[in-house]
Amino acid sequence: MESAESTIADGAKRSEVPRKTALLLVDIQHDFLPPDGSLAVPDGDKILPLVYRILDEAHAQFDLIVASMDCTYHPVHHVSFASTHGKEPFTAIKVPRLNSDEKITQMLWPDHCVQGTKGCEIHPEVQQRLDKLPNVQYIRKGDNVHVDAYSAFADNQYTLFTPLAKLLHSSGISHVVICGLATDYCVRATAIDARKFGFTTKVLTDAIRAVDPAKSDEVLSELVNWGCILAQSTDV
Ligand code: VGL
Ligand code: ZN
């Protein structure tokens, strides 16, 4: 929410476009959290106190707070569920690209975040805090049964876009700060899309966790190559 003024050579003040920042909380939902989420991200619950602190103490720094939710379609079985294909979770298969003969790789997951179930709900202590704040918006993704959606901006094939890019642009947001789950899937895809849409993008590395922790460093360097800024939750 900083409004910047800079001094130009002749000493006159020139006002700049105010910088507006959104906080993106990625998929902080029951099913991604230990101890009993169906797709619990290792140590995913360790981010919770950091998220509480941001929402309790630093929320005023954000012009908009967006909580994304993986919201897989019920009752038809989602393409990303191992159970849909009679396969084991955490294996990959080839599925057809939408409207195409081309095959693409789809990771298979345990059933998770099915709409209308507890698994889909945002962690209650995060939700309680969001309920008290103004300027909170929710972005639901993954409701196309045929195409998985990691990014909060679009599905994995860029066939369907959520309202997020439009929401941010129409709110005058130029900067986004990202935390949540999981580093190697939904945080990664959301951060890369944020860069593609032109947002200055900060990723809070202590407030994210990976499905495969061995991949974290590689993902973070990939995000740096996309122009993301790595920061700590205490920096906000
Ligand atoms: C996610 C795997 C499947 C995530 C969502 O939120 O990172 N990962 N669906
Ligand atoms: Zn999912």
d(CA 224, CA 212): 19
Q: What is the pLDDT of residues 75-96, one digit of tens each?
A: 568 999 999 999 999 999 999 9
ipTM of the complex: 0.97
The pTM assigned to this predicted structure is: 0.92
Q: Give residue 12 CA to ligand 2 midpoint distance, Å.
A: 52
Q: What is the pLDDT of residues 35-47, one digit of tens each?
A: 999 999 999 999 9
User: Residue 18: its pLDDT value, please?
Assistant: 78
What residues line ligand 1, using a CB cutoff of 6 Å?
27, 32, 70, 109, 150, 181-182, 185-186
When computed from its CA atoms, the radius of gyration of the chain, rounded to whole angstroms, is 18
Domains of the chain: 21-74+112-231 (3.40.50.850)
Structural contact between residues 60 and 149, judged by C-beta atoms closer than 8 angstroms: no
What protein residues have CB closer than 5 angstroms to ion ligand 2?
A: 70
Annotation marks residue 202 as catalytic: no
Please name the residue whose Cα sits nearest to atom 3 of ligand 1.
109
Structural contact between residues 194 and 220, judged by C-beta atoms closer than 8 angstroms: no
Tell the burial category of 174 from Cβ atoms under 10 Å away from its Cβ (0-12, 13-18, 19+).
middle
Question: Which ligand is located closest to the Cα atom of residue 184?
Answer: 1
Q: Give residue 181 CA to ligand 1 midpoint distance, Å.
A: 7
